């Protein structure tokens, strides 16, 4: 397709969502936080009494979700759910159901539908490898697990939420292992993805690198 896509994949708490959203704003592109879709699905399932191990039930639920994005805010059934789905509990639930092939298949076309002019910046675990394999620019954005734990800890404290650094570190290690080991679209750097290591970078520096690489990629047409 002629509509350009920047696909940014990477582990949890790497900062890819912030970088992707700011890059989208700078370019005037649409933004898709694919992880939010899984978080909303897990939240909707728990609200509807669907067990998180019920793969067919989750797939049916996901296919019928009334889901809408407005910038970085997420709406389910017309109501904002951004704060609810950003908790650590929601993240763990999303990581669990994201390993289910039937659910991933049900959400595939919903994610691809976000590809609209003038362009899309999206972040997740398999945006470049599965959802948008023809993305103009693919990036694997990461940072050390210790740095990611510190970032998540800071985010939670700034929101007035309780947090334990050691517990966050352990949780991130477990998520990394689960995401990398799953059979469906495991988290890994693709051969055609550029590595963006952000442990020692500021957000502005990371965004600037994404924009520079996108300019280098040019228009394949």
- The distance from CA 108 to its chain's CA centroid, rounded to whole angstroms, is 13
Ordered by start, the domain boundaries in the chain are 5-216
User: What is residue 219's predicted lDDT score, i.e. its pLDDT?
Assistant: 63
Q: Which residues contact 220 (CB under 8 A, 6 or more apart)?
A: 136
CA–CA–CA angle 70, 119, 201 (5° rounding): 80
Average pLDDT of adjacent 10-residue blocks, the chain of 221 residues: 92 90 95 91 94 95 87 87 85 87 90 94 92 96 95 87 90 87 78 95 97 87 45
**Residue 178, pLDDT score:** 83
Q: What local confidence, expressed as pLDDT, does residue 80 receive?
A: 93
Q: What would be the CATH architecture of the domain defined by 5-216?
A: 3-Layer(aba) Sandwich (3.40)
Q: How many CB atoms are located within 10 Å of the residue 160 CB?
A: 6
Q: pTM of the predicted model, to two decimals?
A: 0.86
In terms of Cα–Cα distance, which of 214, 210, 215 is closest to 18?
A: 210
């Amino acid at each position: 397709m002629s509509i350009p896509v920047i696909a940014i994949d990477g582990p949890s708490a790497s900062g890819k969502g912030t970088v992707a959203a700011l890059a989208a704003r700078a370019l005037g592109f649409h933004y898709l936080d694919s992880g939010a879709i899984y978080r909303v699905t897990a939240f909707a399932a728990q609200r509807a009494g669907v067990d998180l191990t019920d793969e067919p039930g989750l797939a049916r639920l996901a296919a019928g979700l009334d889901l809408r994005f407005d910038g970085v805010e997420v709406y389910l059934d017309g109501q904002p759910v951004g704060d609810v789905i950003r908790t650590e509990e929601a993240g763990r639930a999303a990581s669990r159901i994201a390993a289910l092939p039937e659910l991933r298949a049900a959400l595939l076309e919903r994610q691809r539908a976000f590809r609209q002019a003038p362009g899309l910046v999206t972040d997740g675990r398999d945006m470049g490898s599965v959802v948008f394999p023809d993305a103009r620019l693919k990036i694997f954005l990461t940072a050390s697990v210790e740095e990611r734990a510190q970032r998540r800890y800071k985010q939670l404290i700034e929101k007035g939420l309780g947090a334990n650094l050691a517990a966050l570190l352990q949780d991130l290690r477990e998520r990394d292992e689960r995401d990398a080991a799953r059979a469906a679209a495991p988290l890994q750097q693709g051969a055609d993805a550029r590595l963006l290591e952000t442990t020692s970078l500021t957000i502005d520096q990371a965004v600037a690198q994404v924009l520079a690489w996108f300019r280098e990629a040019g228009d394949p047409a």
